[in-house]
Copies of this chain bind each other. A is one copy, B any other.
Amino acid sequence: MDLIRDLAALRERISLIRNQGKEIGFVPTMGFLHEGHLSLIETAKAQNTFVVVSIFVNPLQFGAGEDYEDYPRDLENDSRLAAVAGCDLVFYPVARDFYPSGYGTFVEVQGSITDRLCGASRPGHFRGVTTVLAKLFNLVEPHRTYFGQKDAQQCLVVKKMLEDLNYNVEFIIMPTVREPDGLAMSSRNKYLTPLQRKAAPVLYQSLQKANSLIDNGERDGKLIKELLECNIKTVPGAEIDYIQVVDVKKLEPLSQLAGTCLIALAVKFGTTRLIDNIIVEV
């Protein structure tokens, strides 16, 4: 497996790979890989002849006071895990090469899909995401790219950017990978104290309860939201950022569930912010 930090070296390697007629699967990550990432890499390997994983903690998608500096980093272990999962090339640029002095170009998806949910809690976050990905897609020139359903809103925003800007890249979403107790895999789980870690599965448990309710015929969006709120509040130390029952296209709140619905939430345990979601067909 190749490890490339330099942008020109990556370009040269990609050009070679494409000239060989290989199909490139691309998994962009911020590193500190977990089984969620590895499932993306494994799927990319199964569907392509060459797999690129990028590892870059993107300063542009962190707000002031967020965890950019503290975000966990472990390139050595990540490389080992990526190689085992089938990665052929790890690209790990440094921030000063990726955003050189005087950098000034931004890619932004506008509208309700970036304004709501995580977009409301983290202003500028998705602009940072779409800008870094536009750059990475231009550098890696992938045929297919892989994202996890855990970041449901990110999936929606990136898919919209790819379509709007006519990127020739197939967008593939893979299911959320969970710990045995249901907690969605996340690099940020590392931040949790033992007590918080014990409490965190309440996110998925409450989503499952909402799912049961809907299975039994409940269609009242507000009531489902209240149930989730009530459930999460039973856990000491859980501070709700948002709970939303929305349509899956525009993220508009649903008073009555219909069609494909997204139930998404963000909850803070101390300074650690966790997200999770389910999609339900009604």
Q: Does A234 contact B (CB under 8 A)?
A: no
Also in contact, A105 and B107, with CB within 8 A (given A141-B168, A165-B134, A167-B138): yes
Nearest CB in chain B to that of A10: its residue: B166
Please state if B111 and A165 are interface contacts (CB–CB under 8 Å): no
* Interfacial residues of chain A within 1-50, with CB under 8 A of chain B in the complex: 7, 11, 15
Cα of A103 to Cα of B166 in the assembled complex, Å = 11
Tell me the smallest distance from the CB of A148 to a CB of chain B, in Å.
22
| Contact bitstring A47-90, B, C-beta under 8 A = 1, else 0 | 00000000000000000000000000000000000000000000
| Contact bitstring A125-147, B, C-beta under 8 A = 1, else 0 | 00000100011001101000000
Question: In the complex, which residues of chain B have a beta carbon less than 8 angstroms from the beta carbon of A108?
Answer: 105-108
Q: Does A194 contact B (CB under 8 A)?
A: no
Question: In the complex, which residues of chain B have a beta carbon less than 8 angstroms from the beta carbon of A7?
Answer: 166
Per DSSP, are chain A's interface residues mostly helix, strand or loop, or mixed? mixed
Q: Does A266 contact B (CB under 8 A)?
A: no
Cα of A147 to Cα of B79 in the assembled complex, Å = 42
Please state if A166 and B110 are interface contacts (CB–CB under 8 Å): no
Q: Quick one: which of A105, A111, A141, A164 has the most chain B CB within 10 A?
A: A105
Cα of A110 to Cα of B108 in the assembled complex, Å = 12
Q: In the complex, which of the residues B111, B165, B167 contacts A107, with contact meaning CB atoms closer than 8 Å?
A: B165
Tell me the smallest distance from the CB of A34 to a CB of chain B, in Å.
28
Cα of A110 to Cα of B166 in the assembled complex, Å = 22
